[in-house]
Amino acid sequence: MKKTILFITLLFSSILLHAQETALPTFITDSLQTYITQGMKDWQIPGLSVAIIKDDKIVFMKGFGTTKVNGSELVDENTLFMIGSNTKAFTATTLSILQESGVLSLDDKVQKWMPEFRLKDPLASRDVTIVDLLSHRIGFETFQGDFAAWTSTISRADVIKNMSVIEAPYSFRTRWGYCNAAFVTAGELLPRISNKSWEETVKDSILVPLQMDRTLMLAEELITASNASVAHTNIDGTITEIPIPNINNLAPAGSMSSSAKDMTQWLFAQLNDGKIGDEQRISSRGIRAIRSPSSILGVDSRDHKETHFYLYGMGLDINDRNGELVYSHTGGVDGFLSSVLFIPEQKLGIVVLTNTDANSFFQNLSDQIRDSFLGLPYQDYSKQSLERSKKSDLEEKQRIDSLKKVVYLKAMPSVPLKKFSGKYTNDLYGEIEIKLEKNNLNIHFSKHPKLIGKLEHLQNDRFLCTYSNPTFGVVEMPFKIENDTVIGLTLTVADFIEFTPYEFTKIN
């Protein structure tokens, strides 16, 4: 026991070695570890890794917890986590670096490099530029089209092709709508430009120069990697291990995995315009270009004025905080959440990695560290978020319990169950099939062969759909019936995946 305590003490001392040369906020020196430990307990986070850079030094870097729930393998600064949408900045920076080399312009029309690219609006199809793709301003609703792609069997080419049938709710360049498919398209321009795959080009352009040796490009690589976290989610109040999500078809938007230590190299490059120490590893203009604001997200109208505006660059959120420009992004995939934040004027960089998708602490922690360095009052973001989360979870439980009470009334639909059986189609998704199995209706998905939607009748030909993958949620699903014939249904999934409903038409 004494040896263990001595080891931990020496380890923490080495982590804060450089901190002695930099005046750190008391929250960092006195409270940070306690805050993290309590936050992990409150949010049931199995493992977390965090790193802080200040004034060109790593002033804190440490892993907490274990790589899987009830596991024995400890998380450290080299433990790998999926970083989700923090992948986007790597994709955007790679294209920006190529612009600096003169082989492309970010203002190039997409069709210059990908003539087959189409949106439903022919004028938008013609005018969409690479910047438009990287700044989420093509007119789509946030997450629109993601259900068809998320952990599905379709290819990156299919993801891009699907964009041509999506009914964009907004005019081109008039609204910001977070679009993973746009980043897939941007990433798939790279083989046309560099004659190498997206993953090879990003690796050669960024990972190798920055010596991010443990960072992985594809989700499947994490499964066999050493010192890798396991994915977790909350199922009925219990943090449960789930499979690593196969999202290689969305890879340029979110498939990378990294460690806190590797991500410090990325932060050093961001804070020093592409330099590591005195050596220029990445083009300075290539680094800075993605920070140029291209979309307006909104203005903060709350009483406090630490933050006034929110903008979006290319794979980066941009806002002011107590007079400083803050660049940040979060990343979320099944089982993982991450936060990356840097303030160049403060020479401050923060990365937080977690191995559960059921927490807000990953961002609370990042924000708490940020505020401490900016001299802002302590707000305990975790406590505030936890109260909201508990309220939301309770409301969701009450919603589902209320619906299940309706199911237990065993009201019969207006037509026999066998009439709901058959194939249904949607222009974007393709086919699903509803089968009557042991007197229960189940949805089978052509693009998600492992996914099943269990249907239980509520009332008025509305069903409760419980997906076998908990990430997809528990939703109400109305059917359309005319003249005692089932003609279609409206399918939805959890907001985490997509907000937009899918209209399916029965074809047999």
**Which of residues 71 and 306 earns the better pLDDT score?**
71
Three-state DSSP at 351 gives: strand
Stretch 156-175: mean pLDDT: 96
Three-state DSSP at 221 gives: helix
Stretch 233-250: mean pLDDT: 94
Stretch 54-77: mean pLDDT: 97
Cα 265 → chain centroid? 21
Percent of the chain with pLDDT over 90: 91
Percent of the chain with pLDDT over 70: 95
Question: What's the pLDDT band for 302 if we cut at 50, 70, 90?
Answer: low
**Residues 6 or more apart in contact with residue 114 via CB below 8 angstroms:** 160, 185, 188, 189, 192
The pLDDT value recorded for residue 21 is: 55
The pLDDT value recorded for residue 136 is: 97
Does the structure show a pLDDT above 50 at 193? Answer: yes
pTM of the model: 0.93
Give the model confidence (pLDDT) of 307-341 as tens digits: 889 999 999 999 999 999 999 999 999 999 999 99
The pLDDT value recorded for residue 236 is: 86
**Which of residues 237 and 352 earns the better pLDDT score?**
352
In the chain, the amino acid numbered 125 is S
The pLDDT value recorded for residue 17 is: 44
Question: What's the pLDDT band for 301 if we cut at 50, 70, 90?
Answer: low
Stretch 407-432: mean pLDDT: 95
The pLDDT value recorded for residue 10 is: 38
Question: What's the pLDDT band for 349 if we cut at 50, 70, 90?
Answer: very high
Other C-beta atoms within 10 Å of 234: how many?
A: 16
Residue 117, token pair as written in the block: 């690219």
Question: What's the pLDDT band for 303 if we cut at 50, 70, 90?
Answer: low
Alpha-carbon distances of 71 from 46, 47, 68, 74, rounded to whole Å: 9, 10, 5, 8
Of the ranges 9-13, 82-86, 300-304, 463-467, which one carries the lowest mean pLDDT score? 9-13
Stretch 106-132: mean pLDDT: 97
Stretch 370-386: mean pLDDT: 95
For residues 48 and 35, give the distance between their C-alpha atoms in angstroms, rounded to a whole number.
12
What is the DSSP annotation of 277-331?
TTEE-S-HHHHHHTTS--EEEEE--SS--S--EEEE-SS-EEEEETTEEEEEEEE
Stretch 406-415: mean pLDDT: 90
Give the model confidence (pLDDT) of 430-453 as tens digits: 999 999 999 999 999 999 999 999
The pLDDT value recorded for residue 298 is: 81
Does the structure show a pLDDT above 90 at 13? Answer: no
Does the structure show a pLDDT above 80 at 300? Answer: no
The pLDDT value recorded for residue 7 is: 36
Query: What are the b/e assignments for 51-73, b being 16+ CB within 10 Å?
Result: bbbbeeebbbbbbbbbbbbeeee
**Which of residues 16 and 124 earns the better pLDDT score?**
124
For residues 260 and 255, give the distance between their C-alpha atoms in angstroms, rounded to a whole number.
16
Give the model confidence (pLDDT) of 255-277 as tens digits: 999 999 999 999 999 999 999 99
Cα-only R_g, the chain: 24
What is the DSSP annotation of 162-183?
HGGG---SS-TTTS----HHHH
Question: What's the pLDDT band for 8 if we cut at 50, 70, 90?
Answer: very low
The pLDDT value recorded for residue 189 is: 98
The H-or-E segment that residue 187 falls in is helix 180-194
Place of tokens 């379709």: 154
The pLDDT value recorded for residue 304 is: 62
For residues 281 and 3, give the distance between their C-alpha atoms in angstroms, rounded to a whole number.
41
Does the structure show a pLDDT above 50 at 4? Answer: no
Q: Closest by alpha carbon to 156, among 133, 187, 119?
A: 187
Question: For residues 71 and 167, is the Cβ–Cβ distance under 8 A?
Answer: no
Query: What are the b/e assignments for 154-189, b being 16+ CB within 10 Å?
Result: bebebbbebbbebebeeebbebbbbbbbbbbbbbbb
Question: For residues 463 and 440, is the Cβ–Cβ distance under 8 A?
Answer: no
List the beta bridge partners of residue 8.
none
Give me the chain's average pLDDT, please.
93
Question: What's the pLDDT band for 116 if we cut at 50, 70, 90?
Answer: very high
Does the structure show a pLDDT above 50 at 358? Answer: yes
